[in-house]
Amino acid sequence: MTQKRDYYEILNVNREADADEIKKAYRKLAIQFHPDKNPGDEVAEDKFKEATEAYEVLRDPEKRDRYNRFGHAGLEGMGSDFGGFGVNLDEVFDDVFGGLFGGFSRGTRRAPKRGRNLQYNLDVTLEDVIHGKEVTIQVPRIESCPTCEGNGAKKGTSPVTCPQCYGRGQISQSQGFFTMSRTCPRCRGAGAIIQEPCRPCGGKGVVRNTHDIPINIEKGIDTGFKYQLRGEGEAGANGAPPGDLFVVINVEPHQRFQRDRNDLITSAKISFVQAALGGKVEVDSIDGKEELHIPPGTQYGAQLRIPNKGIPHYRRSYSGDLVVRMEIETPTHLNTEQRSALERFAKLRGESHQNEQGGFWDKLLGRQEDEESE
């Protein structure tokens, strides 16, 4: 890899040179090596690019300070053009030549410009991404004028070639061997002018409308999912294609269910008898009631699954599970018979609600005593 030359050496100025000295040095080199003066000369073109890069750095106090302290390494990560970083030729030439020629341009007439991309944030429900749904969104956007078909001229007429630039979109001026171009002030770079503007769009060729667009909410998508609808953005300029529309999905929180990837999380309350002996209970799912088998000895916080009752996997034929977190209800307001039965059960297990260790039955009966004393 070729070692980059020192920027001060390129411009032939010392490191203490002020802004005016740097500008004069660059102007001299730019005129000497400009491609218009040296057509086909690659060496001259390289020197022109090298001088432009050096000037772009040394004219900027921040870049110059970084270069003085760290050399070329201090300018890394600042973009890429002319071998090191972004160089705005319009800005450089306007700075050096005082806007005498209205800036530097390599093109002729104004180039077509692709339309702007749009983003639409769409809120959907958990049910929408489980069952799928088609919705219609209304997108405000700039569209090609249907009356003039985007050319800006009154129906039945057409734009005419600009008489000032003869359709080039640029006006060239010379200073010695150095040729500069600027955008034509009459047609503003379009190369044509509109003598009779289209009334609906005022000669702009575009109008603002609200467009109805159907969106298919697919099963299994999640927050952050993005649809790209090509050509549904804003209209392009000078015959360029329209931009794209990006629809970004936001799945709203559900009152009862939480989402964990493709599983749905919910909770169910069971009695301590059901937890100890097992049984069957009905729990809510998105689609209604589902029967859940409770194994004997189920503990508080245990998670039981009902297969395929969660969220479908995206573009797959199977779904996640419904995960039910167990919450065991402690009975309250025990009558004498119920309390005696629990005490007998505790005795059979070798437990006592007076146990200082505070076991399950101790907590259960202690809670009962507290409630009765209130």
Tell me the per-residue pLDDT of 177-234, one tens digit each, with 9 for 90 and over. Answer: 555 677 888 887 778 888 889 988 888 888 888 889 999 999 999 999 999 999 898 8
Of residues 112 and 167, more confidence is placed in 167
**Does the pLDDT at position 18 exceed 80?**
yes
CATH number of 258-329: 2.60.260.20
From the list 133, 135, 137, 132, the residue with the least C-alpha distance to 119 is 137
* Domain 105-144+206-253 listed as CATH 2.60.260.20: yes
- pLDDT, residue 38, reads 77
Sequence ranges of the domains in the chain: 7-97, 105-144+206-253, 258-329, 336-373
| The two three-digit tokens of residue 207, written as one number | 């109008």
**Does the pLDDT at position 121 exceed 90?**
yes
**C-alpha dihedral (91, 92, 93, 99), degrees to nearest 10:** 40
DSSP codes, 315-360: TSS-B--EEEEEEEEPP-S--HHHHHHHHHHHHHTT--TT-TT--H
pLDDT tens-digit map of 32-57? 888 777 777 888 888 888 888 898 88
**Does the pLDDT at position 108 exceed 70?**
no
pLDDT band at 99 (very low <50, low <70, confident <90, very high): very low
pLDDT tens-digit map of 251-261? 999 989 999 99
- pLDDT, residue 174, reads 59
Q: b/e string for 155-175 if b means 16 or more Cβ within 10 A?
A: eeeebeebeebebbbbbeeee
- pLDDT, residue 105, reads 41
Going through 112-205 in order, the beta strands assigned E by DSSP cover 118-124, 133-144, 160-161, 170-175, 178-183, 192-193
The model's pTM: 0.55
- pLDDT, residue 352, reads 67
* Domain 7-97 listed as CATH 1.10.287.110: yes
**Does the pLDDT at position 102 exceed 60?**
no
- pLDDT, residue 137, reads 93
**Average pLDDT score over the chain:** 80
**Does the pLDDT at position 339 exceed 80?**
yes
From the list 132, 123, 135, the residue with the least C-alpha distance to 319 is 132
**Does the pLDDT at position 368 exceed 60?**
no
In CATH terms, are 105-144+206-253 and 258-329 the same topology? yes
**Does the pLDDT at position 371 exceed 70?**
no
- pLDDT, residue 365, reads 46
